Structure 1
Amino acid sequence: MTSASTSVRPGGTVLVTGGAGFIGSAISPSLAEAFDRVVVVDNLHPQIHESGLRPEQLDLRAELVVADVAEAATWDQVLQDVTPDVIIHLAAETGTGQSLEESTRHTHVNVVGTSQMLDGLNRHHKLPRRIVLSSSRAVYGEGAWQDAEGKPFYPGQRMSATLDQSQWDFPGATPLAMKASETFPAPVSVYGATKLAQEHILQAWSKSYGVETVILRLQNVYGPGQSLINPYTGIMSLFCRMAMGGKSIPLYEDGEVRRDFVLIDDVASAIVAGAFSATVQGEPMDIGSGEFQTIGTAAKLIAEHYNAPEPHVTGQYRQGDVRHAWADISAAQEVLGWSPKFNLAQGIDQLATWIDAQPDVKPA
């Protein structure tokens, strides 16, 4: 692991790709306070931005350029006027299951969008001091497990033949936390593969040109401001809308799937820390809540908030989903001086309170 002690000073210009989305809007106030100029490039995709209008959550001090990061013309337009000191690269198609059916779209946005950005920076001779990449725990796939003798191994992708027989776990094995310095990435979705490609492309390019990189592998991000219309992301908001309508929340597999639900506030503070940390490294770091919860636990807390019926197990499964996923966040704590502040119950309360206050929200 190599690190540098050069710090990114407040002031200057930050450019945020996909910056009108859930995470981008959440970090925009902090960025506007710290930088002289905040420029957001976002195509306002209708799957997330139903109205096609600038989102209210995006800080008014941020300049919004509505354009596609995967088009060379976008970068020629933006970089004529913008000289970024820091880039926060959030732009991505994020649907894990959807990526298996729309692999070209996910690859185009996530991989070509990244390479077009880097080519544009070269073409206009405007290399930033630092790039912060929002990556994903999806790069790990099923991650590492431990056998009965305590030896780590990689079981690989779960197949339909075993899932159809309700064999959810790997017999005799125990899952391990995901840790970038130890866990070998082996994505089981097209989305995960494109996020890993983003990391590799950025690392190779940045090391060649001396650009600092901060790569953050995010676990399951949720919270106020999350899209309520995107059916491919945001299981927590979907659960809230089901419970709001008095429905029993359906639990896939056996309800014991483990996830690391991390509140948007904690993710936002991690990304901002990545932009300003005095110590940076080119290797990925994991961002999560510091603990795992089962899907069943999350659903039960949501049901209790809405006085909805108990969640029920369906035995269904979704291709591309991993069995268990949670992060070892020690590297981010050490390098960035960051730690999460909110537990699951606090986060669900914030999310549900926000959803309840939305004027046009409809039960699912």
Structure 2
Amino acid sequence: MAVLLTGATGFVGLNIAHALLARGEKVVLFAPAPPPEALAGGSLADACFVAGDIRVPDSLDRAFAAQAIDRVIHAAALTPDAQAEAERPDVITEVNLGGTVRLMQAAHRAGVRRVLGLSSVAVYGYAAPAADGRLHEESTPPQPAALYGITKLAAEQAIHRLGALYGIETLTVRLGPCFGAREHATGVRPLLSPHWQCAEAARAGRDCVLPRPMAADWIDVEEAAGAIADLLAVPSPPHRIFNLGGSALTTAAAWCEALASLHPGFRWRIDAGAPTVRYGLERDRAPMETGRLRAAIGRAPFTKDLAGIARRYLAWRNSPEGIALCGA
């Protein structure tokens, strides 16, 4: 049996695809457009690709008919900034919520047994953390502050409600801020991560100016993708909602320090008045508690060795795959 992965050619989706393939899974990739030829004929050669729109039932039915599919990872979403929210709220809602409903209907028609939906830390908005300084799945009330978080919270609820009606086991993962390999401009996310912006400045020999250190529970996307693939395989998880973040706070400033150790000429600084790095959050957010996920998969995803991640990232960025995604 195979896994259907929606949003498969995006940043997180590509990493999940690699994690699944590395575990020997059969994978059907579903997205509006295929991955670059260098990936389709290389690292994703063993995956089946189906082009389609998450909002269109016929597209979804074609994807489910491509192979015998019993599990789904739903990663398709639009991640807007404030301008996109104002200009295209209908499209954002149709994809993030309407597309999720269409997916659950198609999964029901196909007899799928499990759906894992990717949600986001954005469902918490700027909610106050618990006494331990963290955001918890059960005790922290969601307070989404923007349309992305609003639609992701509604999509979570739709997945679990429809799963109960259709007899499908459902899980949702509230994914924290990611950075790392295979991040590239797809047009779906108006802003790429600060880490990507800083790394591109270092590679190009440009100065990098941060608006603030930008602390968050940043997580290496390959670590996150591996945790998602592991959770999909857990028999009968005791919970339905899981936080997935870096388990500890790190900063974009520390990432710049790691890049500077590999690019001695790289210059960076913090200047709130004239930043070159754009970031979607007006202020920092508390980290998520990840103990529930740790108990389920037997390990804790974490981000601490920024120097090691920077070395791996730059090696990937200079590889044929990195160049195919991001350019020379």
Range of TM-score over shorter length: 0.7 to 0.9
CA contact (8 A) 1:223 1:264 kept: yes
Q: Is 2:247 the partner of 1:262?
A: no
What residue number does 2:126 align with? Answer: 142
- Report whether the alignment pairs 1:116 with 2:99: no
Structure (1/2) with the larger helix percentage: 2
Measured in 1, the distance between the counterparts of 2:269 and 2:327 equals 19
* Secondary structure of 1:133 counterpart: strand
Rounded Cα–Cα distance in structure 2 between residues aligned with 1:218 and 1:80: 29
Question: For 1:129-178, what per-residue CA distance to the aligned partner results, in whole angstroms no more than 9, with x for missing partners?
Answer: 111111111111112147xxxxx6xxxxxxxxxxxxxxxxxxxxxx9322
Pick aligned residue for 2:193 from 220, 234, 247: 234
Partner residue in 1 for 2:313: 351
Does residue 294 in structure 1 map to residue 251 in structure 2?
yes
- 1:330 equivalent in alignment to 2:285: no
Rounded Cα–Cα distance in structure 2 between residues aligned with 1:322 and 1:203: 31
Check whether the contact 2:209–2:270 (CA below 8 A) recurs between aligned residues. yes
Letter in 2 for 1:326: P
Structure-1 separation of matches of 2:22 and 2:313: 25
8 Å CA contact retained: 1:141, 1:322: no
Q: Which amino acid in the other structure matches residue 294 of structure 2? A: Q
Provide the secondary structure at the position in 2 that maps to 1:331.
helix
For the structure 1 residues 95 and 299, does the alpha-carbon distance in structure 2 shift closer, same or farther, using more than 3 Å as the test?
farther
Query: Partner residue of 2:54?
Result: 69
RMSD: 2.8
Given that residues 218 and 303 in structure 2 are in contact (C-alpha distance below 8 angstroms), is that contact kept between their aligned partners in structure 1? no
- Contact 1:25-1:57 at 8 Å conserved across structures: no
Q: Compute the displacement of 1:186 (Å).
A: 0.8
**1: distance between equivalents of 2:39 and 2:205?**
32
User: What SS does structure 1 have at the residue aligned with 2:138?
Assistant: coil
Q: Does the Cα contact within 8 Å between 1:251 and 1:313 map onto a contact in 2?
A: yes
Residues 107, 194 of structure 1: 8 Å contact kept: yes
Scaled by the length of structure 1, the TM-score of the pair is: 0.77
Distance in 2, Cα, partners of 1:92 & 1:296:
28
> The residue matched to 1:353 in structure 2 has which SS?
helix
For 1:74-93, what aligned pairs fall within 5 Å after superposition?
74-93=59-78
The equivalent of 1:310 in structure 2 is: 268
> Does 2:237 correspond to 1:276?
no
Whether contact under 8 Å (1:24, 1:58) holds in the other structure is: no
One-letter code aligned to 2:311: D
Structure 1 CA distance for aligned equivalents of residues 32 and 118 of structure 2: 17
- Which amino acid counterpart does residue 245 of structure 2 have in structure 1? G
After TM superposition, the structure 1 stretch with the greater mean CA deviation from structure 2, 241-250 or 91-100, is 91-100
The 5 Å alignment of 1:1-364 reads 12-32=1-21, 37-44=26-33, 55=40, 59-97=44-82, 99-101=84-86, 102-122=88-108, 124=109, 126-145=110-129, 176-228=133-185, 231-252=190-211, 255-307=212-264, 308-315=266-273, 321-340=282-301, 342-343=303-304, 344-357=306-319, 358-359=322-323
CA distance in structure 2 between the partners assigned to 1:269 and 1:80 by the alignment: 26
Measured in 1, the distance between the counterparts of 2:8 and 2:224 equals 14
Unaligned runs of 5+ in 1: 1-11, 147-151, 153-174
Say whether the 8 Å CA contact 1:212–1:282 is kept in structure 2: no
* Residues matched between the structures, number: 317
- Paired with 1:277 and 1:233, the residues of 2 have a C-alpha distance of 31
How far apart, CA to CA, are the structure 2 residues paired with 1:219 and 1:328?
Answer: 11
Provide the C-alpha distance between the structure 2 equivalents of 1:97 and 1:302, rounded to a whole number of angstroms: 30
Contact 1:273 1:338 in 2 (8 A): no
Equivalent position of 1:157 in the other structure:
none
Give per-residue Cα distances to partners, 1:206-247, cap 9 Å, x unaligned. Answer: 122332122111111111111156552222111111122222
User: Distance in 2 between the 1:207 and 1:320 partners?
Assistant: 34
Q: Secondary structure of 2:219's match?
A: strand
Deviations 1:316-344 (A, max 9, x none): 68665442242211110012223226523
Counterpart-to-counterpart distance in 2, 1:247 and 1:287: 33
Q: Secondary structure, in 3 states, of the residue corresponding to 1:38?
A: strand
